[in-house]
Amino acid sequence: MSATTVPRSAQVTRSTRETSVECRVVLDGSGAAEVSTGIGFLDHMVASLALHSRIDVSLTCRGDLEVDDHHTAEDCALALGQAIDAALGERRGIGRFGWALVPLDEALAQVALDLSGRPFARVELELVRERIGALATENATHFLQSLAVAMRATLHVDVLRGANDHHKVEAAFKATARCLRQAVAADPLPGEFAGETNPVPSAKGSL
């Protein structure tokens, strides 16, 4: 499958004793989202991630919310990241990198992303509340960390300022989405590496 001529898509099913997750993504989409995790604020964030990345996302989860929201948030992030990773294939002909500075009213988030194949996440959201809606704020951080690991990416997220925790998290998700939009897009200089027409954007030839 060519990364630049046909829609890139993947579907992931993740089932454990804690959750059952179905996720499908289309990288060359319009940002359409169908999200039902049982956690309203998480649904809102994933839908925002889809819209601003222009990745179509279908994500459903039945989780043990009677226990905690941690398993649902983590497994949804892992399924989404695995689906993006699978849809990228060999990562040929992509931009690979993304950077964004996104405001939401008084909040300002900066994100840098590298679809490097090397999982790493540093996420500093500077949150003060314990919860936003039904989502523990620590799980907003953990979602982004788990997403990065599952899609084999290096992700740096910093909320630079803000007073409202909802705004801080939403700015961070939107900035991550803008980075994804850049990183998964077709590379503007095909053939730059080793004379290939649809190259992997790495001097070592693989990601």
Residue that has been written with the tokens 């809606």 in this structure: 133
pLDDT classification of 3: cutoffs 50, 70, 90: very low
Span 55-64, mean pLDDT? 99
pLDDT at 202: 75
Mean of per-residue pLDDT scores for the chain: 93
Span 25-43, mean pLDDT? 98
Q: What domains can you pick out in the chain, each with its CATH number?
A: 9-184 (3.30.230.40)
CA distances for 100 relative to 59, 103, 117, 207, angstroms: 25, 10, 20, 22
Predicted TM-score (pTM) of this structure: 0.93
pLDDT at 205: 75
Query: Which of 202 and 91 is assigned the larger pLDDT?
Result: 91
pLDDT at 59: 99
For 81-99, the pLDDT digits (tens) are: 999 999 999 999 999 999 9
pLDDT at 87: 98
Quote the CA–CA distance of 7 and 11 in Å, as a whole number.
13
Quote the CA–CA distance of 6 and 184 in Å, as a whole number.
13
pLDDT at 195: 60
Q: Which of 12, 42, 48 is nearest to 176 (CA)?
A: 48
